[in-house]
Chains A and B, each alone.
Chain A
Amino acid sequence: MTLSHTDPVVSVDHLAKRYGNHPAVRDVSFTVQRGTIAGFLGPNGAGKTTTLRALLGLVEPTSGTALFGTTRYRDLPEPSRLVGALLDAHVGHPGRTAIGHLSVLAAPLGIPRSRVVAVLEQVGLADAAKRRIGGFSQGMRQRLGLAGALLGEPEILVLDEPSNGLDPDGIRWLRHTLLDFAAAGGTVLLSSHVLAEVAQTVEEIVVIAEGRVLAHAPVGDFTSGLAGKATRVRTPSLDLMTGALDAAGLGYERLEHDVLRVQGAAPDELGRLAAAAGAVIYELSPEVVDLETAFFNLTETRTKELAR
């Protein structure tokens, strides 16, 4: 089965999941378009894993839907050929060999042994094929988990914290693997709480905290805008500029004798404000915030807002 080329390949709509009285996911909605690498970010306990498990048919949502195209995972024919998933570093029976583990996953789909051998080579575990999983490091388990996800040659990868346990080499290898997968037309949804790792891989991000989506945007927009829009203003007309900012109700701080950092306004907006006030401007530049800072700014602010 292949999905429509126009619809989102992943659609999560007002998903909620309660375990008894505990709301693990309150209200999560987002879509992922074909050919993108989307990061699903949030602190531990935010609801990432529950959302992914609901998407993959392992937990039943209390309300809302989580679909691939327009179909639930459980209703897809041979879903592993469309969606490859890695949910847990504990990928297999510790007494089983790596090749035995993948053979067990391949058997229901009729995938030949040659494909099993090929994915072991792809993830760099060819030499460990006949070793028992119980003796694997966590990084090797993650590679084996990814081999399992790739086994059915899927169009979509859903990966929960795939870089857990990987050394720097492994993280670089994972990044290249995912970029190659997306370059070939594949779609990736990966969760992480280690932002520095996904920053160089993902194109768009969905930020979740306390079971709700806080932001969904391309990485660039997220770092420059959603995370707390700020603009650096260099002006010799400091009094005129600060007067205009005060009148507009915009917050600012003085960084240098002629430099202001203005919160909550983009450069074009400030340019108009300065022109109206007759202030001379030497520099107007959006403040570039790294993903990690933006993420913490956003989650802290929104979590406090939700608590109120």
Chain B
Amino acid sequence: MTRLIRTEWLKLATTRGPWAVIAGVIALTALITPFAMAEIGKGDASRAADAQEALAIGPGFITALLLLLLGALASAGEFHHRTIASTYLVTPRRGRVLAAKLIAHGALGAAVAAIGAAISFPVVLLMARSDDLHVASTGHLAALAFAIVAAGALASICGVAAGSILRHQTASIVVILVWTLLVEKLFGGFFPPVLPFGAILAAVGMAGEDGPGIAASLAIVAAWAGVLGFAATRVIERDVTA
């Protein structure tokens, strides 16, 4: 299994997609975080909550969306680029290939989210200090950082599972974008805690005061990752004709 996970890492390292996502997370977090902090009004009662959102918008919202897409593109891309046949010829036990891919992408997702958090946290905390704003207790900040990293891992896993189920790159992109940015928005303004992307946002502190707690939100996302992963195991045995 270690070799298979290493193989999936190698697949990621030898293509441009993951590097583009890492660059995108760094650039967007570095651009958006100061802008979000600057938007917080001086006399606003919800300044601390807004600052917490500023912490998460780059490594949470943007990163989760990019990781969902990357995971789906990587797994559906095996069909698009017709590499799935050689993958299964080398490792015919398809469940092991899927498991290795989920683990490798989960680790990548955690790492990318951590990179994003390593940019947004210092920016927010430094700007908050200069503005005399108390963002959150050290314990809550640590919990948010953990949630961001865990959400990154789970978003990647959901993306890989979705791409494995759909087996089509364009369909995967469309389904993920429509689901996250339209369907979930229509059914509860982004924050119904039972839907996956809303739960990711709630976990990273973007649900405001009314959202479920970090642990509950992560549990919901993990449940979705489990459901999608299980569904993927049901469809990977289909014929490979491409």
**Which A positions have Cβ atoms within 8 angstroms of B?**
19, 53, 56-60, 73-74, 76, 79-80, 85, 87-88, 90-97, 100-101, 103-105, 107-110, 148
The answer for the CA separation of A85 and B89 in the assembled complex, in Å, is: 8
A90 near B90: Cβ-Cβ < 8 Å? no
| Contact of B138 with A by CB under 8 A | no
On whether A104 and B92 interact (CB within 8 A), knowing A58-B240, A95-B16, A148-B86, the answer reads no
Partner of B7, one of A87, A96, A107: A107
Q: Do A79 and B92 touch (CB < 8 A)?
A: yes
A108 touches B89 (CB 8 A): no
| B85 and A104 form a contact (CB under 8 A) | no
* B10→A56 contact, CB < 8 A: no
A92, A94, A108, A109: residue with the most chain B Cβ atoms closer than 10 Å = A108
Q: Are A58 and B82 in contact (CB under 8 A)?
A: no
The answer, yes or no, to whether B60 is at the interface (CB within 8 Å) is no
Give bound CA distance, A251 to B219, whole Å: 82
Closest 9 A/B residue pairs (Cβ): A100-B14, A59-B239, A107-B7, A74-B92, A58-B240, A90-B82, A93-B81, A95-B15, A96-B14
Q: Does B11 contact A (CB under 8 A)?
A: yes
Task: Report which residue of B81, B88, B237 has the largest number of chain A beta carbons within 10 angstroms of its beta carbon.
Answer: B81
Given A73-B92, A80-B89, A53-B240 contact (CB < 8 Å): yes
Question: B86 contacts A91, CB within 8 Å?
Answer: yes
Whether A107 contacts B86 by the Cβ 8 Å rule is: no
In the complex the two chains form, is B77's CB within 8 Å of A93's CB? Answer: yes
Choose from B15, B90, B240 the contact partner of A108 (Cβ within 8 Å). B90
If A93-B77, A95-B16, A100-B14 touch, does A105 touch B86 (CB 8 Å cutoff)?
yes
A289 to B23 alpha-carbon distance, docked (Å): 64
B6: Cβ under 8 A from any A Cβ: yes
- B113 CB to closest chain A CB (Å) equals 24
* B contact set with A: CB distance below 8 Å: 3-4, 6-7, 10-11, 14-17, 77, 81-83, 85-86, 88-93, 237, 239-241
Known: A58-B240, A90-B82, A93-B77. A104 touches B89 (CB 8 A): no
| 26 A–B contacts, CB within 8 A, in A order | A19-B241, A56-B89, A58-B240, A59-B241, A60-B237, A60-B239, A74-B92, A74-B93, A76-B92, A79-B92, A80-B90, A85-B89, A90-B81, A92-B83, A93-B77, A93-B81, A93-B83, A94-B81, A95-B17, A96-B15, A107-B7, A108-B91, A109-B3, A109-B90, A110-B3, A148-B86
For A57, give the chain B residue with the smallest CB separation.
B92
Contact A107 B3 (CB under 8 A): yes
C-alpha gap A9/B81 in the complex (Å): 31
Do B10 and A103 touch across chains, with their CB atoms under 8 A apart?
yes
Residues of A within 8 A of B6 (CB): 107
- Give bound CA distance, A56 to B17, whole Å: 30
Report how far A59 CA is from B90 CA in the complex, Å: 15
Q: How far is the CB of A276 from chain B (nearest CB, A)?
A: 57
CB-defined contacts of A96 to chain B, threshold 8 Å: 14-15
Q: Is B3 a contact partner of A103 (Cβ separation < 8 A)?
A: no
- In addition to A57-B88, A60-B237, A76-B92, 18 A-B residue pairs with Cβ atoms within 8 Å of each other are A53-B240, A59-B239, A73-B92, A79-B90, A79-B92, A80-B89, A88-B82, A92-B81, A92-B83, A96-B15, A101-B14, A104-B10, A105-B90, A107-B3, A107-B6, A108-B90, A109-B90, A110-B3
The distance from the CB of B95 to the nearest CB of chain A, in whole angstroms, is 12
Give Cα distance in the complex from A97 to B15, angstroms. 9
CA distance A60 to B10 in the complex (A): 29
Please measure, in the bound complex, the distance between the C-alpha atom of A57 and the C-alpha atom of B90, giving whole angstroms: 11
**Distance between Cα atoms of A19 and B14 in the complex (Å):** 35
B10 touches A107 (CB 8 A): yes
Residue of B nearest to A110 (CB): B3
Minimum CB distance partner of A24 in chain B: B241
Closest residue to B17 on the A side, CB-wise? A95
Residues of chain A contacted by B14 (CB below 8 angstroms): 93, 96-97, 100-101, 103-104
